[in-house]
A and B are shown apart, each in its own frame.
Chain A
Amino acid sequence: DVVLTQTPPTLSATIGQSVSISCRSSQSLLHSNGNTYLHWLLQRPGQSPQLLIYSVSRLESGVPNRFSGSGSGTDFTLKISGVEAEDLGVYYCVQGTHARTFGGGTKLELK
């Protein structure tokens, strides 16, 4: 089974600071069809998760472009260029190449 390891588990940031979250997979997420199904979600306190980035780097409609995703194979990164207060919550990576697996989450809080 694929295991996704997110680091760091907790991230403290000030408003305006740029931060990155890593998601490392135990297996390559490159599908035989050439696509890589690694997505990023944000769950704000008390809310259902929302999709931010799909297929590594594609920004979901309506999501601010301060969010960006990169990576390939087994190593992926979510970057927030200038944290805003509404960005606080728990970030999850999820893979869809081999069934589905979520990472353990990264909690973004204010410093």
Chain B
Amino acid sequence: EVQLVESGGGLVKPGSSLKLSCVASGFTFSSYGMHWIRQAPKKGLEWIALIYYDSSNKYYADSVKGRFTISRDNSKNTLYLEMNSLRSEDTAMYYCAKATMGYWGQGVMVTVSS
């Protein structure tokens, strides 16, 4: 059974940093691209980052480019999202998703507030 489990969220102040993790199981993690997608409270879905299976390519939404970094450790079956210079508008539920978005984690909440 495919499972994606996010962690690392919480309440942080504007300007601070946070690193999210997504541990994958039930499939060959090293063979698939992975996404981070977020959803602000009562809003729609926003794609924010994609990493290829071998980390050879990374893509970002303009809203997070230069502040967020997606990475992965295939030896640990883990996807990461390092978030710097956080803003109030980054407050959202953050999801990791596999390849064509056939599998999603349960999400982790990030709240940026003073």
Does the CB pair A102–B100 fall under 8 Å? no
- Interfacial residues of chain A within 63-79, with CB under 8 A of chain B in the complex: none
The verdict on B35 contacting chain A, using a C-beta distance below 8 Å, is yes
The verdict on B53 contacting chain A, using a C-beta distance below 8 Å, is no
Given A49-B45, A51-B101, are A100 and B50 also a contact pair (CB < 8 Å)?
yes
Q: How far is the CB of B38 from chain A (nearest CB, A)?
A: 11
Q: With CB as the reference atom, state the residue of chain A lying closest to B95.
A: A48
Query: Cβ of A94: which chain B residues have Cβ within 8 Å of it?
Result: 45, 47, 101
Q: How far is the CB of A108 from chain B (nearest CB, A)?
A: 14
Does the CB pair B104–A102 fall under 8 Å? no
Query: Cβ of A51: which chain B residues have Cβ within 8 Å of it?
Result: 100-102
Chain A window 94-111, contacts with chain B (Cβ cutoff 8 Å), 1 for yes, 0 for no: 101001111111000000
Query: Cβ of A48: which chain B residues have Cβ within 8 Å of it?
Result: 95, 104-107
Does the CB pair B62–A92 fall under 8 Å? no
Q: With CB as the reference atom, state the residue of chain A lying closest to B106.
A: A48
Please measure, in the bound complex, the distance between the C-alpha atom of A102 and the C-alpha atom of B95, giving whole angstroms.
14
The verdict on B41 contacting chain A, using a C-beta distance below 8 Å, is no
Residue of B35, B62, B95, B101 near A39 (CB, 8 A) is: B101
Does the CB pair A96–B100 fall under 8 Å? yes
The verdict on B27 contacting chain A, using a C-beta distance below 8 Å, is no
Please measure, in the bound complex, the distance between the C-alpha atom of A50 and the C-alpha atom of B105, giving whole angstroms.
10
Does the CB pair A102–B44 fall under 8 Å? yes
Please measure, in the bound complex, the distance between the C-alpha atom of A76 and the C-alpha atom of B50, giving whole angstroms.
24
Query: Cβ of B95: which chain A residues have Cβ within 8 Å of it?
Result: 48-49
Minimum-distance CB pairs A-B, first 3? A100-B47, A48-B104, A102-B45
A/B interface sample: 24 pairs, CB < 8 A: A1-B62, A39-B100, A39-B101, A41-B45, A41-B101, A48-B95, A48-B104, A48-B105, A48-B106, A48-B107, A49-B45, A51-B100, A51-B102, A54-B100, A54-B102, A90-B44, A94-B45, A99-B61, A100-B47, A100-B50, A102-B37, A102-B46, A102-B47, A105-B45
Chain B residues proximal to chain A, CB less than 8 Å: 35, 37, 44-47, 50, 59, 61-62, 95, 100-102, 104-107
